[in-house]
Amino acid sequence: MSRTLSFTLLIASLSLAGCGYSQGDRALSGGLLGAGAGAAIGSVTGIGPGAGAVLGGAVGAVGGAVTSPRNLNLGRPLIKTGE
C-alpha cells in the first residue's frame, strides 16, 4: 500500500511541476508541490518527512524548471514573481 501511495503522489507532484508561465514560476511551484509530496511520502516510507520534503522539493524544482510552458500551460499565475 505505501509503495502504491508513494508512486501515486510522486506522479501527481511531477505532473503538476510544470504549473506556471515563466521558468521561475514553474521551478517555484514545482519545488513547493514536490516538498509537500516528498514530506507525505517520506513519512509513509519511513525516511522522515524532513528528508522527504528536501528531496521532493529538489526534484520538483528541477522538474518545474526544465518543463516548457508549451507542454503544460495552465495560464498566468495569480502572483507576479518579478518579471
Query: What does 13-72 look like in DSSP terms, one character per residue?
Result: HHHHTT-SSSHHHHHHHHHHHHHHHHHHHHHHHTS-HHHHHHHHHHHHHHHHHHS-TTTS
Model confidence over 9-29: pLDDT tens digits?
A: 666 666 655 556 678 888 888
pLDDT exceeding 70 applies to what percent of the chain? 60
pLDDT at position 58: 93
DSSP assigned state of 12: H
Report d(CA 1, CA 21) in Å as an integer: 35
Compare 64 and 70 and report the one with higher pLDDT: 64
Band (82; pLDDT cuts 50, 70, 90):
low
pLDDT score at 66: 85
Q: Which helix (H) or strand (E) holds 2?
A: helix 2-16
